[in-house]
Structure 1
């Protein structure tokens, strides 16, 4: 459509010129004594147009000729800039391909070309950013080649080039600090990594990449409290899958629990845990077991185990415990039956009566009866569950308890038979 309009306009202009020039009878007379020159008006107009075109062409030609040195200088600069970018891209490609020596050489070539451009009259606008990236590329290649001295040299030059400016240069400086922290972690130098991370601004230190590095450094230095706080932040940022986040947090809580040196310290740690962490059966049982080892009060142990016990006693209303978790819960509760109160005795008896087919609950009820001095009921429950217990340790404990009860009654044959069954269960 546009071409058709231009064609119509061209034809219209040609018709207008033809009408004007065809009927134009005017003339121009030029007196140059002693001469006289008569020219048609159309000829004069044509000559003026030709003179204008000639003058315009001459001026454009002179301008082009005068600007040739500047254009030649800009062309040379453009060629150098292209070579600089090509060297940087080649270095990145070589680094990704695992050819670290070539990557370092290409990065150094890019740095040299950038330096030559910076010394000229016209500098590259993004030359500083490119210089920082080239130094980081060379440092990365040197790190892969295990050349620590050259790596630190390029890293320091990158940091000096980035300066303390804002914007993209500040991002480059933060990126260099993060890479330095990762290099320190690769060399198992957690203290240096933490120092690099501490120099980051507050916003950059809370990024996922920085938090991952901080988590690894804290675990290497066995700073379990800091590692746990970092893992919680990563879980809130969805840096891990829910299952992985729960596993990492659970492992760090275990390590903090193992670091406790007395019951007071462990109770303080338990109070600092989040409610979701205290609700984990593995965490509660591990903390309760550690509290038993540190000589803590059995009442506190049973209070920590109450949520896990409710899951074991009522599997229909709550997610059931795994077999290993249930076995450990029975073991820890058995070790904390000292001073058993009536409320817990009622809980255990109600669970064993509601599920008589569960030998573990019958065993725990028997141990609770032993603790309260109910010998007859304990013997009855132990005799019913001793052969049905799936765990060899619990089965051996049940037979030993039966042997002890038989000795108290003076029934030597029954005691001998129970001791023999306990020994056989222990061998298995």
Structure 2
């Protein structure tokens, strides 16, 4: 439709020009002595228009020629940008697909564009790391050192890759640099925690776990397990004496002190250093909150000497507990062992035999037979003692 309108307008203009030219009697005369040129006004107008068109075309051609180098440079720049951006997209796609060799090659193409060089280097570093090419990974990361706009991304990438490569010291250096720049986001705390865990810096692991728990950034099961590992390492350190182990235990929050696994490890560590009173108090506090066989075993190992008030108090506590848990084999074994130590032979035999009948683990069967053998031996009943010793040996084999 538009073309038709243009044709109509062009035809109308041509008709108008033809009619006007037909009734135009004007002449144009050029004098240049001794020459004279006469022509009609219509021809002069046509020649003038033709000359204008020719001059306009020549000027446009000259302008295009002068601008040609800039246009070629702009075209090449656009081509480089297209190729660089395509290389960056291909590198990301290959990285997510797990084709790390393709990802690194595409990152090399993307790095040819200065604007993409930093991001391409981070992609290349991740790809090289996945292929276990540490030297190439470090070369990629070294290329981003001077790019301040990617400082946080570089440090986060370094931390993650170094932790994955089990280089906690280098990872912690990156974390320290990241913290110095004021960046303390959740992901950085998570990788920092992993680096400290590999470095066995357990106090710092506990601090970071508590910080991440405040932000609900850790699954409760993972948080609990990390606390257990940290406390186990701290409490199992053989370099601690009685004073230092108490100092470590005093730093544990109340909410953690009553958790069965932690309480059992603490009671075991306290028993190993002769702090039986503290071990009993720790176990009793934890058992009031949650019953656990591991804590009961540690409570049994914390028994006081024969005739001591602490041993009698332990027996009273266990007798009160066993009324609530009449089929608990671990508790019956503990009460029987305590009565045996106090030389309450009848009670000891009754509870040890109850533990033997209710035991579900070979360990408990073996220990119950051993305690019964010791009891019969103390009473001079050597035949019964030998029978239980044999049963203990058979349980050890099984």
Query: Does the TM-score normalized on the shorter chain lie above 0.5?
Result: yes
Q: What is the number of equivalent residue pairs in this alignment? A: 379
Q: Which moved more, 1:217-226 or 1:394-403?
A: 394-403
Partner of 1:210: 188
**Structure 1 residue 340 and structure 2 residue 310: aligned?**
yes
From the superposition, tell whether residues 403 and 89 of structure 1 become closer, same or farther in structure 2 (CA, over 3 Å).
Answer: closer
Partner of 2:157: 179
What whole-Å deviation, never above 9, does each CA across 1:153-194 have from its counterpart, x for those lacking one?
A: 33222112x0xx4xxxx34x1211222233333443222222
Tell me the CA shift for residue 78 of structure 1: 1.5
Partner of 1:281: 260
From the superposition, tell whether residues 138 and 243 of structure 1 become closer, same or farther in structure 2 (CA, over 3 Å).
Answer: closer
| Alignment match of 2:276 (pick from 287, 297, 305) | 297
Checking the alignment, whether the CA contact within 8 Å between 1:218 and 1:227 is kept in structure 2 is yes
Tell me the CA shift for residue 205 of structure 1: 5.3
Partner of 1:134: 120
> Residues of 2 paired with 1:266 and 1:311: CA distance?
24
> Residues of 2 paired with 1:388 and 1:138: CA distance?
62
| Alignment match of 1:228 (pick from 206, 219, 224) | 206
Unaligned runs of 5+ in 2: 1-25, 29-55
Tell me the CA shift for residue 285 of structure 1: 0.6
From the superposition, tell whether residues 311 and 137 of structure 1 become closer, same or farther in structure 2 (CA, over 3 Å).
Answer: closer
* 4+ residue runs over 6 A deviation: 56-66
Checking the alignment, whether the CA contact within 8 Å between 2:365 and 2:392 is kept in structure 1 is yes
Tell me the CA shift for residue 204 of structure 1: 6.3
What whole-Å deviation, never above 9, does each CA across 1:194-220 have from its counterpart, x for those lacking one?
A: 212211135765334433332333233
From the superposition, tell whether residues 152 and 419 of structure 1 become closer, same or farther in structure 2 (CA, over 3 Å).
Answer: same
> Residues of 1 paired with 2:377 and 2:75: CA distance?
106
From the superposition, tell whether residues 379 and 152 of structure 1 become closer, same or farther in structure 2 (CA, over 3 Å).
Answer: closer
Tell me the CA shift for residue 281 of structure 1: 0.5
Partner of 2:108: 108
Q: Secondary structure at the match of 2:265?
A: helix
Partner of 1:83: 83
> Residues of 1 paired with 2:226 and 2:295: CA distance?
22
Partner of 2:43: none
> Residues of 2 paired with 1:65 and 1:380: CA distance?
112
TM-score (norm 1): 0.67
Checking the alignment, whether the CA contact within 8 Å between 2:107 and 2:124 is kept in structure 1 is yes
Tell me the CA shift for residue 394 of structure 1: 3.6
Tell me the CA shift for residue 241 of structure 1: 2.2
Checking the alignment, whether the CA contact within 8 Å between 2:242 and 2:270 is kept in structure 1 is yes
What's the C-alpha RMSD, in Å, of the aligned pairs? Answer: 4.8
> Residues of 2 paired with 1:362 and 1:263: CA distance?
30
From the superposition, tell whether residues 337 and 229 of structure 1 become closer, same or farther in structure 2 (CA, over 3 Å).
Answer: same
> Residues of 2 paired with 1:288 and 1:382: CA distance?
23
Unaligned runs of 5+ in 1: 1-29, 33-55, 115-125, 313-324
> Residues of 2 paired with 1:369 and 1:310: CA distance?
25
Checking the alignment, whether the CA contact within 8 Å between 1:107 and 1:138 is kept in structure 2 is yes
Partner of 2:227: 249
